[in-house]
Chain A
Amino acid sequence: GEDVEQSLFLSVREGDSSVINCTYTDSSSTYLYWYKQEPGAGLQLLTYIFSNMDMKQDQRLTVLLNKKDKHLSLRIADTQTGDSAIYFCAEKTSYDKVIFGPGTSLSVIP
């Protein structure tokens, strides 16, 4: 079946790097996404990676995709207090449905 898993909590110190991990099950996924949700707000697309790529970098964000292990990670360099939020990993399946993980709550300690 379709399933996306993430660890639920991560705590880092301001200025350190954060790494949020995700595993998914659908090997025919076309796109994989990272969304950010701040308290009381909707979802903001942070970055995405096409399934035939293995890395994408966008300023402080680095996405790594290991398709063999169905493992996706998001690295945030120089984490700031404004990065505190819930981060959702998601995959777009071959049926064009987007499946979300449960979200990782990132806490940044000043």
Chain B
Amino acid sequence: NAGVMQNPRHLVRRRGQEARLRCSPMKGHSHVYWYRQLPEEGLKFMVYLQKENIIDESGMPKERFSAEFPKEGPSILRIQQVVRGDSAAYFCASSVARATYEQYFGPGTRLTVT
């Protein structure tokens, strides 16, 4: 029973390029959450999605960032025109339902912008 999978684990992008981060939730989970962890900081909520719907994007920067969770395939966090300040670890979590107590976390994608 595979856990939450994220790829790539490490991603290096030059300023101005696009970064695409993928998250495959645990089997049977239809709720996905994205968090960002800046160096030496805790996790900050970015966005909460269900299949084909964005439920809460209150933590997403207004520009350059977007997320989707299509009917088929993984959830994608997309960062356009990356800047150095986007360098961080991006974690995805999934849960079986909204009201459940637990979110299962993936190993994260470490984005470095050069």
Contact = CB atoms under 8 A, between A and B. Distances in A.
Interface in B67-114: 91, 98-99, 101-108
Chain A interface residue number, banded: 20 to 34
Instruction: Name the prevailing secondary structure of the A interface residues.
Output: strand
B45 A42 contact: no
Contact of A103 (B42, B99, B104): B42
Interface of B: 4, 33, 35, 41-45, 48, 56, 58, 91, 98-99, 101-108
B43 A100 contact: yes
A44 B108 CA distance: 12
Given A42-B107, A43-B91, A96 B43 contact: no
A34 interface: no
Contacts of A92: 101
Contacts of B103: 98
Given A98-B45, A100-B35, 17 more contacts: A31-B101, A41-B107, A42-B4, A42-B108, A43-B91, A44-B105, A45-B102, A48-B102, A88-B42, A88-B43, A97-B48, A97-B58, A98-B33, A100-B43, A102-B41, A102-B42, A103-B41
Contact of B43 (A30, A43, A44): A43
Contacts of A30: 101
Q: Across chains A and B, which 7 residue pairs bring their CB atoms closest together, nearest first?
A: A100-B42, A102-B42, A100-B43, A43-B105, A42-B107, A42-B105, A31-B101
Given A42-B91, A42-B107, A96 B45 contact: no
A92 to B, nearest CB: 7
